Structure 1
Amino acid sequence: MTFNEGMRIDTSAASTSGSAAGGGGGRRMAVGGGLAGLAIVVIAMLLGVDPGGVLSQQPLDTRGDVAPGFDLSQCRTGADANTFVQCRVVATANSLDAVWKQLMPGYTRPNLRLFSGQVSTGCGPASSDVGPFYCPADQTAYFDTDFFQVLVEEFGSSGGPFAQEYVVAHEYGHHVQNLLGVLGRAQHGAQGAAGTGVRTELQADCYAGVWAHYASTVRQESTGVPFLEPLSDQDIQDALSAAASVGDDRIQEQVTGHISPESWTHGSSAQRQKWFTVGYQTGDPNKCDTFATRDLG
């Protein structure tokens, strides 16, 4: 999906850092784990360990100089979002905020932090190994944009900007859950394929689809232009490919050669594709109640 060049990027809720960053030192669970992405989270999943707990226990190495972060002053227009992946993340967040502001009374935008290497958060220290994640303690979505290349090279996702935008929309889906007071369900109740953790992640996928439904029609207040151009069939295929590449079953089979639904944390590839599609086709957040259904797909 391509941003309209006439849209203006708002970086006021975004920040960036290098190999270490300021933040809290709390222990509240971080959610998302990069869509079940990288090595630490995969290992935790296979062992039946909560990846949020793994994130909060990682040591933060703050030795040496801190590498400078990406210069957000480069992010001005939709053309910049189409050029720089970091600007694309921020512009996607702008679009998400506009869509959810219309759909959800009382919506408040989260913070967004771009980092490289390691970062300190309200949920504890984390490294790039956990992939993108959302921390409810500081209401911040964290992204190391190198994850997008790993998604393609190591997990077989197709490329394309909308695959990246889907990842951002998923993490913002966790913020919506936090505002609704349902995010904490991920830490309680049954585990495994039908557990609350999987239902939480599939709902975030559905919310990402809801955003996609409106992304090319909601207009930016300051410019009057839509944030994004209309979706193409390839855009949707890129999102579905990204969703499938981080399904629990696909990752388990790739890493161990067998599938263990009892240790799932995010849902199967088919489930993740299904719930993104539900949100995209309906545009109705009420259709995303994965906690109420017996059939997750």
Structure 2
Amino acid sequence: MKNRNQATLIGLVAIFLWSAIVGLIRSVSDHLGPTGGAAMMYSVASALLLLTVGWVRLGEFPRRYLAWGSLLFVSYELCLALSIGYAHNSRQAIEVGMVNYLWPSFTIVAAIMFNGQRANLWIVPGFVLSLIGIAWVLGGEQGLDLPGMWANLQDNPLSYGLAFAGAVIWAAYCALTARIAQGKNGVTLFFMLVSAALWVKYLLEGGGAMAFTLPATAYLLLAAAAMGFGYAAWNVGILHGNVTLLAGASYFIPVFSAALSMLVLRTPLSLAFWQGAAMVCGGALLCWWATRVPQARPT
């Protein structure tokens, strides 16, 4: 029981680390650029994963997992890092991060559609509540304001589009790898592939020197640690801890992330933003609950 509690605590640390990623990615991008900064982050994170999770020989991976897992994981991480890096300002970066956090609800829906996950009818209001929460966040100070949300999206369709695509891709990754991974964990390899893809993009854009000031280096190391150690800690928690507790806690990441990003980026957030973030969390929790009690029905 003691070891199980320790593993659960380690898994909860992973949730804290992941919650800090949005603010840290944005800080690195501000200092080293969206592509170059992301390439450096994933390079350092790959080294940390080699030291913590370790390496698995390619021959031990199922071929389908190696192919599809690599494609989907790399695509997701590129969408995540670049959507935040391409944001026009810190407030927009936090909003983009919130759009990305649609993935918990999308993942549950994907599990129902493709993996035979049982759920009751509460899945529908849960999913709708998550979408309304994002609309509330993007509406600005007024909350649910469709013209304001549309104007916000038009200001930077690339960042918002990448974040939404990332949420869909991660849901697909979770649903597919649950069936084909056969217990293997390719996260170290996948991070190295993300790093390689970003370096190729960086070179195609013309490269250029990056100024490694003390703040830039500090944010780089913190972001890489949050990424690398986050995955390593989550792996320990899921394998040896209380999975139910960790799954429930993970659905609060949008609120934790917004709070930490606000502090890291020194960006105040409106009441309407927090209301929308709470809806995103509430919708994800409702979707999760719908899979926990399939016999219940809305009244």
TM-score of the aligned structures, taking structure 1 as reference length: 0.31
Structure with bigger RCO (C-alpha 8 Å, 6+ apart): 2
> Which structure has the greater CA radius of gyration?
2
Greater helix share, structure number: 2
Greater strand share, structure number: 1
